[in-house]
Chains A and B, each alone.
Chain A
Amino acid sequence: MSNDGGEVVPGREEAGYAASTASGGGFRKGSFGVSGSGDTSGFGGLVRVEPGGAVALHSTERPYGGWFDEVTDALIEAVGAATYAAAVQRVLVDRGEITYFVAREHLLTLVQALRDDEALRFELCSSVSGVDYLDSGGPAADAGRPRFHVVLHLTSMTYRRRIRLEVAVTAEDPHVPSVTGIYPTADWQERETWDMFGIVFDGHPALTRILMPDDWDGHPQRKDYPLGGVPVEYHDATIPPPDTRRSYR
C-alpha cells in the first residue's frame, strides 16, 4: 500500500477519507513528507478530530455517573433550568473528567453560581487557558467556526471535585467575559491567554501582554502563527521553520 504520492489511497474513499488530498482540510499532514493521511505505516488512516473524538460533537447522555450528576443538578437548581438549558450547550464526560461547553453570554452567571452555591463551592480557579482548534473537525469546517476554546478548570476544595468549562469563540469575534471579578487569580492567566491566542476578555482590568514583549505582533500559540527559521552563514543555507522541515510536514 503506497500513500506517498498524495493520491487518494484505494480503500480510503469508502471509509470517508476521500478528502485526504484537500490541502488544509481536516487531515494532519504526516511525518517524513508524506502528504495525505499522514500515516507512514499505512494502517492507521490518521484523521484529525476535535479532542474527545467524534463524541466531542455530541453530549454525553445522563446519568453521567458518580458526583457529576450531583454537581449538574445543583447547578441547574442554582441558575434555573431555563438558564442552564440556554447556557450549557453540551456536557461531555471523558476519562473521568466532566466538561461543560458554555455559551459566553451565560459564563459569568454560571461561574458565579459555581463559586457561591453551597452545594457547588468551586472556590479555586485552578487554570484558565486557551486552545486553538484550527481546521479541526474535518474538511467541511467553515471559516466562521469557533476555533478558539477558552478552558477553565475549577476546583471545589470543600467537596474535592474538579470540573472544566469551555467557551468557544471565532477568530473574527474573539470576545469572552472576564472572570477576574469572581476569581482574581484569573488575572494573569487571562492576560497570558490574550497574549498567546488573542482572545479578548471583556471586563479584565488591564488586558496587556504578559509573556511576550509589549510591542510584539501576533499571538504565538495560534496554530496559524508562522514559525521562524534560522539563518545560517554557510552557502546561503537556512534552517527552515519546524513545520516545513521534512519530518514535520
Chain B
Amino acid sequence: MTTTHDPYAGSRETTEGRVYTVTGGDWDQTLGTEAYGEERLVVNMGPQHPSTHGVLRLVLDLEGETVTKARVVIGYLHTGIEKNTEYRNWTQGTTFVTRMDYLAPLYNEAGYCMAVEKLLGIEIPQRAATIRVLVMELNRIASHLVALATFGMEMGALTGMTNGFRERELVLDLLEEITGLRMNHAYIRPGGLAQDLPEGAVEHIREFLRVMPAQVADFHKLLTGQPIWQARLKDAGYLDVTGCVALGVTGPVLRAAGLPWDLRKVDPYLGYETYDFEVPTADTCDAWGRYLVRMAEVNESLKIVEQALDRLAPGPVMVEDRKVAWPAQLSLGPDGMGNSLEHVKHIMGQSMEALIHHFKLVTEGFRVPAGQVYVPIESPRGELGYHVVSDGGTRPWRVHVRDPSFVNLQATAAMSEGGMIADVIAAIASLDPVMGGVDR
C-alpha cells in the first residue's frame, strides 16, 4: 500500500481527538499506518448534503455502520422572519411568512391571516373561506409530492423523484394561474384574498382532478409494490405514539404511528367540518407507514378540492369593512398585475377621499386591537401554530411561528440512534423537514 501525501487532506490533533480531512480515496489510505485506537467515528453529514433537505447538518457518532449518537445542527437558513414582521404592517406580514415553509406557502399565509382575523374579530366571506381551502389542499398535494419525490431520490429511486416533480408541476401551474406565482404567493391576505379566481381556473382545476388520480396510481405502481423500496422503508426511523407526543411530533408522522390527530377534524377551521374526507393512518410507526399516509392524503386532498369546487358560490372574497379590506382587487393589466383600472380611475379622477383612504390603508395599514391569539392549522407537516401578539398598533408586536418541521426534527435522534447510517436518511426523509420553516 502506497500512501501519497495530499496537502489538502491532512490530519491534526484536536481536543476531541485526531481529525482527518478526507478528499476522496480509500479510508485505509487516509489513515495510513496509523492504528485505529477505537472504532468510534464522528462524521459530519451536511450542511451540504443532497439527502438532508437543504442545509441541515448532522453530527453522527458511528461504530462501524451503527449510529450511536445523532446530533442535529440547524440555523443555516435563519433569516429573522419573525423579527422582520415586527417592522412591517399587518398586511405585509403575509409576504414574509409565506417564505418560511416554502413548500407549503399557502398554509403559512392562511395561519397568519387567521390569527390576524381572530385578533380583529372579523369573519371572512364564505367564498374566500372556500377558495382558501381549495388552494391549501392543492398546496398539500404539491407539498406531499415533493416529500415523496425527495424520499424517492434519497432512497435511490430516482424515477420517483422525476415523477414527483413532474406531477407537482401540474399543481404549480394551477397555483400560478390562481395567484400569479408558483410559490411565495402572498395570495391570502388578512380579511380574505388578494384576488378572486381568474376566469378558466375552475375548468383547469377540474381537468387536473381528472388527470391526477391516475398519476397517483402510477406512483403506487412505481414504488409501493417494489421490494427494494419496501426493504429500505420498513422498520426504518421507528417512533411510536408516546415518542411522537413527548417530542411534539404531529402530522403524517403521528398519524403513521396510529393516532388519527388531524386538526382539520379535531379542531376544524374554515368550515373543514363540512367537507367529507378521511384521516388516513398507519400502525407501523416507521418510514413505510409515513409514505403510505402521505400517498393516501394526496387522494383525500383531491376529494376536498372537488367538494370545494362544487360549493363555490359567487360572492366577495374580501371583508366588507373598508377599514381593513385592501382598497382594490388586483387585476391583470397590459403591464402586469396591479390595482384594477376602475379603482385607479376612481381614486385618481373621482374621489379625493377614496385616494386618501387608499393611501392611508396601503402606507400605514390598519390597526389591530391589543391582545394575543394562538391559531393552529394542519399543514402538510403537522401543527402549524401562529402566536400573534398585537399592542394595538399597525404592526405586529410579536409573531411566533410554531413550525412543524422545527419541532419534528427533534425526533431525529430518537429515530436514528441505534440504527444503521443508511436508515438515518430514511428517517429524516420520512419526517420531511423544510429548512426554510425550521430556521425561519
Contacts and interface: CB of A to CB of B under 8 A. Distances in A.
Interface of A: 28, 31-32, 38, 40-41, 44, 46-53, 56, 94-95, 97, 99, 123-127, 129, 131-132, 136, 151, 153, 157, 160, 162, 164, 183-185, 187-189, 192, 196, 209-213, 220-221, 227, 242-243, 247-248
A157 B440 contact: no
A51 B266 contact: no
Given A97-B373, A131-B397, A51 B383 contact: no
Among all A-B residue pairs, the 9 with the closest Cβ atoms: A185-B248, A127-B402, A129-B400, A211-B75, A211-B78, A53-B370, A242-B87, A51-B372, A131-B398
B232 interface: no
Given A129-B400, A153-B387, A160 B267 contact: yes
B245 interface: yes
Q: A interface, by DSSP: helix, strand, loop or mixed?
A: loop
A95 B387 CA distance: 13
A153 B374 contact: yes
Contacts of A151: 372, 387, 400
B410 A50 contact: no
A153 B246 contact: no
Contacts of B369: 53
Interface in B21-57: none
B266 to A, nearest CB: 6
Interface of B: 74-75, 78, 80, 82-83, 87, 118-119, 121, 245-250, 259, 261, 266-267, 360, 363-364, 367, 369-374, 376, 383, 385, 387, 389-394, 397-398, 400, 402, 406-407, 409-410, 439-440
B248 A126 contact: yes
Contact of A48 (B87, B385, B391, B406): B391
Contact of B370 (A49, A127, A211): A49
Contacts of B390: 51
Contacts of B87: 227, 242-243, 248
Given A212-B75, A248-B87, A126 B370 contact: no
Given A49-B391, A153-B374, 17 more contacts: A38-B393, A50-B370, A51-B390, A51-B397, A53-B369, A53-B392, A56-B370, A124-B248, A126-B376, A126-B383, A151-B372, A153-B385, A153-B402, A157-B261, A209-B75, A210-B74, A243-B87
B394 to A, nearest CB: 7
Contact of B75 (A48, A184, A213): A213
Nearest to B386: A127
B438 to A, nearest CB: 9
Nearest to A151: B387
A212 B80 CA distance: 10
A185 B250 CA distance: 11
B391 A127 contact: no
A127 B80 contact: no
Nearest to B242: A123
A240 to B, nearest CB: 12
Find the residue from B119, B372, B391 having the highest chain A CB count within 10 A: B372
